[in-house]
Amino acid sequence: MSKKHPDKTKTTHLLGIPLQELEEEFVLVAAMQRRLMPDPERAESFGDYDMYGQTVPTAVAGGDYFDFIDLEGRFDLKDKMGVAVADASGHALAAAMLIRDFNTALYMGISFQSYYERDTTSLLFTKMNRRMFRSSQENQFISAFYGELQKRGVLRYVNAGHLAPFVLKKERVLELDVGGPVLGAFHSFPKPFEVGEIHLDQGDILVCYTDGIVESADPDDEEYGYTRLLNIAQENRHLGARALFDLIMEDVASFRASGEPADDQTLVVIKKGVTG
Dihedral, CA of residue 233, residue 171, residue 166 and residue 238, to nearest 10: -30
Residue-wise pLDDT tens digits, 138-153: 778 999 999 999 999 9
Please tell me the pTM assigned to this model. Answer: 0.85
* Backbone Cα Rg of the chain: 20
Q: In sequence order, which residues have a C-beta less than 8 Å from that of residue 63 and are 6 or more positions away?
A: 57, 87, 88, 89, 90, 91, 92, 95, 96, 98, 99, 264
pLDDT of residue 29: 58
Question: At residue 117, does pLDDT exceed 50?
Answer: yes
pLDDT digits (tens, 9 = 90+) for 188-242: 888 899 999 999 999 999 999 999 999 999 888 899 999 999 999 999 999 999 9
* Region of 150 on the Ramachandran plot (φ > 0 left; ψ -120 to 50 alpha; else beta): beta
Q: Are 193 and 179 in contact (CB under 8 A)?
A: yes
% of the chain with per-residue pLDDT over 90: 53
**Confidence at residue 270, expressed as pLDDT on a 0 to 100 scale:** 97
Kindly state the average pLDDT of the residues 35-60. 82
Query: In this structure, which topology does domain 18-203 adopt according to CATH?
Result: Phosphatase 2c; domain 1 (3.60.40)
Q: Is the pLDDT of residue 266 over 70?
A: yes
The residues with which 172 forms a beta bridge, in sequence order, are none
